[in-house]
Amino acid sequence: MTQWPLRSSCKIGLLRTETSTSGLGRYNGAPERSVESMTRYNTEQVSGWLQEMQQSLQHLITHSEKSGDNDGDNNPVAMIGIKTGGVDVGKHLHKSLGLQEPLGELNISFYRDDFSTVGLHPVVGPSQVPFSIDGRHIILVDDVLSTGRTVRAAMNEIFDYGRPSRITLAVLIQRTGHELPIRADVIGQAIDLSDNMHVSLDASDMSLTISEPTSETSGDKSS
């Protein structure tokens, strides 16, 4: 089980400015879900968020191919998950979208701006990007967008592999209170939380728990 801090969140996207009612996902202007105590979202609820994300991403992929941003036959859209939670979410989205290229995985430890104090995660394996980045539309996936520093590090690493034509950010959970000007294009759920609340994604059944921090997770606000 992986754990992250979460304060509050908003739904932000590039295509629309209201909550979708036609399966095209969640965008800027949608209301936040407020949580003040320990809450658990079961597999069915999280699966519903993933389904909405899949529909939004399918719309974006179709738009990208029609607009010429990506060559659907010779250079198809590819997906990269940020270890570890982003890979867990990415596996579900990758399968439902039926993408041709295998799922890429990023370990952004060396690219973090707090690497000197945080160091390497002993369990997380190396990055694996088994396809060319150049000229390709990349869907970058993470489980929780909080400060924005993890996504910043991931994009720095992606550009070390090559120059993509476009990067679309998809996250399962997004909150406000970001430390960097980074927002997701596709969001599963926006949840308004206080500073001391944490989100834990259980990849075994894709359930989500929001709770008070433990001694192991307190102070970790770098996602």
Per-residue pLDDT 10s for the chain (223 aa) are 444 444 333 343 433 323 333 333 454 444 566 665 689 999 999 999 999 999 999 999 998 888 766 655 678 899 999 999 999 999 999 999 999 999 999 999 888 776 545 545 555 678 999 999 999 999 999 999 988 999 999 999 999 999 999 999 999 999 866 789 999 999 999 988 777 788 889 999 999 999 886 655 554 455 7
CATH code of the domain containing 52: 3.40.50.2020
Cis peptide before 17 (omega within 30 of 0): no
Q: Find all residues with CB under 8 Å of 91, minimum gap 6, and list them.
A: 81, 103
Q: Which helix (H) or strand (E) holds 168?
A: strand 166-174
Place of tokens 């010429």: 68
Domain assignment present for residue 185? The answer is yes
Domain assignment present for residue 204? The answer is yes
Global pTM reads: 0.80
Place of tokens 């799922």: 103
Domain assignment present for residue 144? The answer is yes
- pLDDT at position 152 is 95
Domain assignment present for residue 84? The answer is yes
Domain assignment present for residue 168? The answer is yes
Q: Which domain holds residue 101?
A: 2-211
Angle between helix axes 85-97 and 43-67 (nearest 10 degrees) is 60
Domain assignment present for residue 157? The answer is yes
- pLDDT at position 3 is 47
Domain assignment present for residue 218? The answer is no
Tally of domains in the chain: 1
Domain assignment present for residue 93? The answer is yes
Mapping DSSP to helix (H, G, I), strand (E, B) and coil, where does residue 159 land? helix
